[in-house]
Amino acid sequence: MDAAPPAPSLFEGDEAWDALPASAPARDGDALHLELENWEGPLDLLLDLARRQKVDLRTISILELVDQYLGYIERAEALRLELAADYLVMAAWLAYLKSLLLLPRDPEMQPSPEELALRLQLRLQRLGAMREAGARLMARDRLGRDVFARGAPEGLRVDRRHRWQADLFDLMQAYGVVKARTAPVVHIVRERAVMTLDSALARLSALLGASLDWQDLHSFLPSRGEAGWEDPALRRSALASSFVAALELAKQGKAEIAQDETFGPLRLRRATGAAGAVAA
């Protein structure tokens, strides 16, 4: 029983509310498949059959129950196989249990057939108890059906009042911000000279190819006389781009970087082992 039947599609769509009153009594011939849809799975069907033995659940005859169940399922199979998968799994298990109960005892067998039967009985008792508890719950005097709260309560209201706070400085500041924000302004977007990462990469790769010795990163920058040297902003941009380009080349295995101390000069050379790879 521990192996729960696989997800039974039969129950996926079960409506949580009863949309319709219980359907009209079915004719005998196809009673079973109609009822199958009304059962909440094999355990529920077993519980119903057990209840029909009209004895305490603790004293039901498991063998009799198995026979009744198998009898039902034989007819169900003929009717609507696809709905009955879970019921069939249970039927197979019950048939197995029945054979174990009837055959001579195998003392080695774990768990014993009696244990399996007892567990089934315990499960039925528990489901039965909850089914009954649910029915008793539903039969209570229920608020909104049998007993009623006040129909037109005035309602309790809590009004929240705000005491607003601000001081003169806030006011001045706010006015200043408004005036400053809406003062006519002319925006001139200056063109800034930058060295792009791509051009730094190209420049660095080209210069690195020329020598195998360690060289200071600064020596790769545009030198006096080259275009852009005059512009300090461009020099800063070139330094930043060259630094990033150096990191990128190192990452690609094309260059080696060394720095002897924190904030010390960054030195750079072509990766020794990589010459071939670079060429390739």
- Residue 27 or 161 with smaller CB distance to other proteins: 161
Among 43, 71, 16, 53, which Cα is nearest to 128's? 43
From 14-22, 63-71, 210-218, 243-251, give the range in contact with other proteins by CB under 8 A: 14-22
Q: Is-contact 237 195, C-beta < 8 A?
A: yes
Return the axis-axis angle of helices 31-38 and 62-79, rounded to nearest 10°.
Answer: 110
- Residue 43 or 73 with smaller CB distance to other proteins: 43
253 binds other proteins (CB under 8 A): no
**Binding mask of the shown chain, residues 160 to 179, with x at each position contacting other proteins by CB under 8 A:** xxxxxxxxx-xxxxxxxxxx
**If DSSP codes are grouped into helix, strand and coil, which group holds residue 262?**
coil
Q: Is-contact 90 42, C-beta < 8 A?
A: yes
CA distance 145 to 65: 39
- The single residue among 27, 148, 190, 272 that binds other proteins, judged by CB under 8 A, is 148
- Residue 144 or 273 with smaller CB distance to other proteins: 144
4 binds other proteins (CB under 8 A): yes
Return the axis-axis angle of helices 42-52 and 113-138, rounded to nearest 10°.
Answer: 90
Nearest distance, CB of residue 64 and other proteins, angstroms: 20
- The single residue among 3, 24, 102, 135 that binds other proteins, judged by CB under 8 A, is 135
Size of the site for other proteins (CB under 8 A): 80
Q: Is-contact 175 236, C-beta < 8 A?
A: no
Among 109, 127, 110, which Cα is nearest to 51's? 127
Among 246, 208, 162, which Cα is nearest to 238's? 246
The sign one gets for the Cα dihedral 138, 144, 150, 154 is positive
CA distance 117 to 128: 16
Q: Of 57-96, which residues contact other proteins (CB under 8 A)?
A: 86
- Residue 50 or 246 with smaller CB distance to other proteins: 50
Nearest distance, CB of residue 185 and other proteins, angstroms: 7
54 binds other proteins (CB under 8 A): no
Read off the DSSP letter of residue 230. T
Q: Is-contact 32 76, C-beta < 8 A?
A: yes
16 binds other proteins (CB under 8 A): yes
260 binds other proteins (CB under 8 A): no
Nearest distance, CB of residue 269 and other proteins, angstroms: 44
From 1-9, 74-82, 187-195, 198-206, give the range in contact with other proteins by CB under 8 A: 1-9
137 binds other proteins (CB under 8 A): yes
Q: Of 193-252, which residues contact other proteins (CB under 8 A)?
A: none
From 7-15, 200-208, 252-260, 271-279, give the range in contact with other proteins by CB under 8 A: 7-15
CB count within 10 Å of CB 150 equals 6
134 binds other proteins (CB under 8 A): yes
- Residue 68 or 242 with smaller CB distance to other proteins: 68
CA angle 212, 215, 217 (to 5 degrees): 135
- Residue 26 or 118 with smaller CB distance to other proteins: 118
Nearest distance, CB of residue 38 and other proteins, angstroms: 8
